[in-house]
Structure formats: structure tokens, C-alpha cells
Structure 1
Amino acid sequence: MELVALQLNASDHWPVNQAKIAALLERLPASRPLLVQLPENAVVFGNRQAVQAVAEPLGNGPVQDCLAQWARQYGIWLVVGSMPTQTEQSDKLHTSCLVFNDKGERVACYHKLHLFDVDVADGHGRYRESDTFSPGHELCVVDSPFGRLGLSVCYDLRFPELYRALREQGADILLVPAAFTRVTGKAHWLPLLQARAIENQCYVLAAAQVGEHAGGRQTWGHSVILDPWGDIQACLPNGEGLIVAPLEQHRLDSIRRQMPVAQHARLRAVWRDNE
């Protein structure tokens, strides 16, 4: 079993991004099974108008049909880091991470919990995801041939309690598709990912956007695959491409057996005692 992260420089036009993803999928290793992850905003990376133009109802639309077809065609589990999906609020969307199995069936959907409303010292400056998106309200852990997958998206990475909750629900692999800014990525991307891997004793699969985008956006790249000890198994600092690393169940089991931190955690017991 192998983990794969695709690194993209996505635009605000789905046909352009579609062609880029298709070309990278042609470069997948021949071995199966493969868990393949696309970064956040893989379908469209642009302003409100560009995102709304591509948004689809969950489970229905040509973009989702294409994604499902890729999963079937290549016989892969495909994690679409995020695409915009419509909500009951006509003026707001969800940033949705979708998981398709190797038959092209959608087996999971996670709506990004934490929205990136911050100011960054870069060419874009002001980020307000809440102008376009509504936050999700549920965790998502899904069974797969690779183990249990814990879903998250980008800014979620700064909230360790989310990943502890995913681990408590049995996650073995933490999925962190992202479009980290160049400024915040240089400072915090790898340390945060390694912390999530180490403290939860999980593999981390983190596909990223890279380079210059519409509207002055600059993303950090450095897609990475980490093992449950926090060691880098593969990394792509710059440019579009893909990285591959083996999933070693015996290493996951060994680390958790030798240092059973999940069994040692006592904060919930302390909180109950103090109620």
C-alpha cells in the first residue's frame, strides 16, 4: 500500500486544473492499492465569482462525475482536498473534502470546520473565507483498505483538538490537503504537521498548492508524507508533481504499542473529576 500526494499550481479555471490533474494521474505508480490526495482548492483557486461558478450540489454535477471517473479509471482511492459545494444558504458554500473509493463511489465528505479569516503580510494581505463559505459542523473518519482516514483541510491544522478527536475515533492516517500561504507555510507548515503526526501517532498525508495564483495569492508547496514518528517519508518543496511513500502498518502498530499515549491520556478524567 502506498500514499500519494499531488502538488498543484491551480488556477481559477476548472478546465485548466482538470488537465493538470489528469496529466499527474498518468504518472501514478503501477502498484495498487493507492491512496491519492489532491490539495485544497484543486478544482478551482480564485475569487468568489470563480468559486461560485464551479460549485455543485453535493453528489451531483460534472466536476464530481469527473472525479469519480478518475477513481474508477485508475483504480485508486481519491481524496479531493477540496471543492466548493452548495449549501442551503444561497449566498454561501462549503469547502468540501471528498473521498472516492476505487469503484468511483463517494464514501465520505467533510466540510472544512475552521475558516481562514486572517491578515498575512504577503501580496494578497487580507483573507476572509467566511465571506464565501460556511463552516462545517461534523468530524469525519472513514474506513478504507489503508486504515481509518481522518479528514481535515488546511487551516484546521492549527487546531490540535480536532486531530485528537479524530484519533479518538480511530484515525490511522490524517489527511491535510492545503493551500498554505508562502509566509505562514515557511514559518509553520512542517512543524505543525510533524506535531500532529507525533502527538497522535498517525501517518500524515498533506498535498499542497504551490506558486503564484490569481489575486496575488502565493502558496508554499512542500507537499509531504510523514510517518507516525514524525519522520519525513517524501517531500516536494517546489513545482507541480507528485510524491509517493509506503504505508507500513507494522510501523504504526509498533509505535503505538511501545508508547501508548492514547491509553495514557488523562485530561478527560481530570475534567470529569473537577466538574
Structure 2
Amino acid sequence: MARFVNVAAGQLGPVARSETRTEVVARLMALMRQAHANGCDLIVYPELALTTFFPRWYMEDQAEIDSFFEHEMPGPQTRALFDLARELGIGFCLGYAELAVENGETHRHNTSILVDKRGKTISRYRKVHLPGHAEHEPWRRFQHLEKRYFEPGSGFVVADAFNGAIGMAICNDRRWPETYRVMGLQGVEMVLIGYNTPVHNPPAPDHDDLSLFHNRLVMQSGAYQNGTWVVGVAKAGIEEGVDQIGGSCIVAPSGEIVAACTTKGDEIALARCDLDLCNSYKRTTFNFDVHRQPHAYGLIVERRGQHMMADGTPVPSGKSGRGL
């Protein structure tokens, strides 16, 4: 029996620094209602969807920084979104800044969660590939201080959800082939990616005209090379003076874009995703068990404290270091 998931890419336009959580959640709920009216099982929201993209500012006051973080999820201002999901019977993926206290220690992450049709969180992902810088760089027109405000996550997890194998990634993760391959090796069938990407790249302004092309390039290649659907969803438009690329789209396992947003505002793009279409690629061109030859790559990884080759065999005598 075919496994179809009707998906909405829930793009957001700019979120002002003065906008409250309640106001933003109302926008998310409006998009959720549109997705439900179009028969969707799942809506995917952008990275750091609940606030403006605050790493563009250098801040030293920890209380000011923490005002952008969620101390619990759902919390008083976000519970309405979970309640609506349960009422409508639709799942969602939401990106936000997470403040977590674990074993008495406070940690801050750039996080996404996957929520099922009952309004229950079934998977959490913390961004691994943090871009930008950690200290104030006054020469920039705007900052990109993710390395200052967040800790990196520790891995990519694929969850059984929506009758398939669903993974998550966030923004800069999408640029790295390891992101898709680690999930591809777990049999992923759909990768959900929220992002906030400025048009202007201060260290490499010659890339600016290519920003939208590069955005699609990495998601399309990641989809094709791992036989998976990819749903990429932006916060778009001119936010606090910074132009963001938009370009939200849904990519098939063939690498083809099958749906895309056409504005830089609040909008949904829709696709009926056949998860069984992944098998056409996973069992032929990208059948890892038959065609992939990791022993020939010369890569060395550390697994459970022991150095191993990428295919899981012990490191040969005389080799050391890590390559992934």
C-alpha cells in the first residue's frame, strides 16, 4: 500500500524584534489552518520561528539573550499551537531557541521538534553545524553570532513518524553532505529543514547573487544522493533591515523541486509526497549496501571512544586521526 504524506512548507515573512510570541504563534496557527484546509498531514515551519533572528545582534546581557529562548515547550505562549494541532489532527515541525536545564546545567541550543497529530512531541533535534562567529565583529553590517549564543548538537536522529522515517536538520546543516548521509544510512525518507539565510554573506559578498542557487543546490543534491524527500522552509523577506532569501521548497527523491513558495511573506507550498518513491533510488542507484564502498574512502571516525574506519572496521596499524 502506497504511503503518502501531504506536506505544507509553512514559510514566514519577517518577524520584527518587537513582535510578541503570541503574535507570531497566531501567524503560525493561520498557516496551520490553511494547511489543514488543503488536506495536509504535516506543516513545517522555519528555524527560530518564534522570534526575529536575534544572532544578528551582539549582546552581553544574559537576561536579554535569554528573552529569545523558550524555557519549556510547549509553554504558555506556544501551547495554543499544540492545542490547534490536536484539534485539527495535523502534525508540525517547529524551530526555536531552546534553553534546557539538564543535570543541573543550563544549555542553549538552536532546536527543532517534530510533533504528531495528537499534539505530542515525538522527536527533538539540536543544530549541529553552527555557522558564523563567537565574538563581536564590528566590520560586519550585521552579526551572525550563533557560535556565541548556542551550543552545537550531537547528532542526527531519524524517527518513525507519519508512516515513514523522518529526520530533521537546521539551516547551515543543509550545506554539509554528512547531514543527509548520516540520516540516509538510517533509511530516512523525509528530511525537514528550517532556515534563516541572509542574501548578503559578509565574509564572501561575491556569493550574494548565488545564495538562492546554493540553497536549492544543496537540498536537491542531498535529496537525490540519499533517496529522500527534503522539505526546506525559510523565514524570508527584509527582517530588521536584513534581506533573507526565502526560496522555501519541497524536493522529491529525484532531486526535482515539486512545490515552492513564490513570495517572501507568510505562505504555504503544498506537495503530496509518496514515501515509497524513495525506494526507486534506495534500491537502485543509491543502494548503499550494494554500491557504496566506505572502506575505500580512507576516512577515520571515532565511535564510542575507539578509532574506526568509516565502514566500522578497526583502524589499520600506522593510521591515526579522524576524517569526518
Q: If the length of structure 2 is used for normalisation, what is the TM-score?
A: 0.76
Distance change >3 Å, CA 108–CA 64, structure 1 → 2: farther
Question: What amino acid does structure 2 have at the position aligned with 1:107?
Answer: I
Q: For residues 92 and 162 of structure 2, what CA distance do their matches in structure 1 show?
A: 12
Matched, 1:176 2:193: yes
Q: For residues 113 and 283 of structure 2, what CA distance do their matches in structure 1 show?
A: 31
Q: For residues 234 and 176 of structure 1, what CA distance do their matches in structure 2 show?
A: 15
Distance change >3 Å, CA 152–CA 228, structure 1 → 2: same
Q: For residues 33 and 241 of structure 1, what CA distance do their matches in structure 2 show?
A: 14
* TM-aligned CA deviation for residue 210 of structure 1: 0.7
* Runs of 4+ deviating beyond 6 Å: none
Question: What amino acid does structure 2 have at the position aligned with 1:70?
Answer: L
Among 100, 113, 126, the residue aligned to 1:111: 126
Which position in structure 2 is the counterpart of 1:79?
93
* TM-aligned CA deviation for residue 54 of structure 1: 4.2
Q: For residues 130 and 258 of structure 2, what CA distance do their matches in structure 1 show?
A: 29
Matched, 1:131 2:156: no
Q: For residues 220 and 31 of structure 1, what CA distance do their matches in structure 2 show?
A: 26
Which position in structure 2 is the counterpart of 1:210?
236
Among 20, 35, 48, the residue aligned to 1:41: 48
Which position in structure 2 is the counterpart of 1:195?
221
Which position in structure 2 is the counterpart of 1:226?
251
Which position in structure 1 is the counterpart of 2:16?
11
List gaps (5 residues or longer) in structure 1.
none
Q: For residues 206 and 51 of structure 1, what CA distance do their matches in structure 2 show?
A: 27
Distance change >3 Å, CA 102–CA 50, structure 1 → 2: farther
Among 267, 270, 273, the residue aligned to 2:294: 267
Q: What do the CA deviations read for 1:135-189 (whole angstroms, capped 9, x no partner)?
A: 1113221111241111100011121112101111121101111112124532410
Which position in structure 2 is the counterpart of 1:100?
115
Which position in structure 2 is the counterpart of 1:68?
82
Q: For residues 117 and 31 of structure 1, what CA distance do their matches in structure 2 show?
A: 38
Contact 2:12/2:236 (8 A) holds in 1? yes
Q: For residues 53 and 184 of structure 2, what CA distance do their matches in structure 1 show?
A: 33
Q: For residues 25 and 270 of structure 2, what CA distance do their matches in structure 1 show?
A: 21
* TM-aligned CA deviation for residue 24 of structure 1: 1.7
Q: For residues 70 and 135 of structure 1, what CA distance do their matches in structure 2 show?
A: 31
Which position in structure 2 is the counterpart of 1:152?
169
Q: For residues 50 and 202 of structure 1, what CA distance do their matches in structure 2 show?
A: 40
* TM-aligned CA deviation for residue 35 of structure 1: 1.6
Distance change >3 Å, CA 202–CA 24, structure 1 → 2: same
Distance change >3 Å, CA 169–CA 257, structure 1 → 2: closer
Which position in structure 2 is the counterpart of 1:242?
268
When Rg is computed on C-alpha atoms for both structures, the one with the higher figure is 2
Which position in structure 2 is the counterpart of 1:53?
67
Contact 2:227/2:279 (8 A) holds in 1? no
Question: What amino acid does structure 2 have at the position aligned with 1:131?
Answer: R
The total of aligned residue pairs comes to 271
Which position in structure 1 is the counterpart of 2:203?
none
* TM-aligned CA deviation for residue 32 of structure 1: 4.7
Contact 2:28/2:81 (8 A) holds in 1? no
Q: For residues 92 and 45 of structure 2, what CA distance do their matches in structure 1 show?
A: 8
More helix by share: 1
Q: For residues 153 and 86 of structure 2, what CA distance do their matches in structure 1 show?
A: 28
Q: For residues 138 and 64 of structure 1, what CA distance do their matches in structure 2 show?
A: 26
Q: For residues 125 and 267 of structure 1, what CA distance do their matches in structure 2 show?
A: 41
Contact 2:29/2:81 (8 A) holds in 1? no
Which position in structure 1 is the counterpart of 2:27?
20
* TM-aligned CA deviation for residue 221 of structure 1: 0.5
* TM-aligned CA deviation for residue 73 of structure 1: 2.1
Contact 1:206/1:225 (8 A) holds in 2? yes
* TM-aligned CA deviation for residue 261 of structure 1: 3.4
Q: What do the CA deviations read for 1:12-62 (whole angstroms, capped 9, x no partner)?
A: 332231222122222124465512100111111143676622423344522
Question: What amino acid does structure 2 have at the position aligned with 1:238?
Answer: T
Contact 1:123/1:217 (8 A) holds in 2? no
Contact 2:32/2:43 (8 A) holds in 1? no
Q: For residues 111 and 167 of structure 2, what CA distance do their matches in structure 1 show?
A: 14
More moved, 52-61 vs 100-109? 52-61
Q: 1:228 aligns to what SS in structure 2?
A: coil
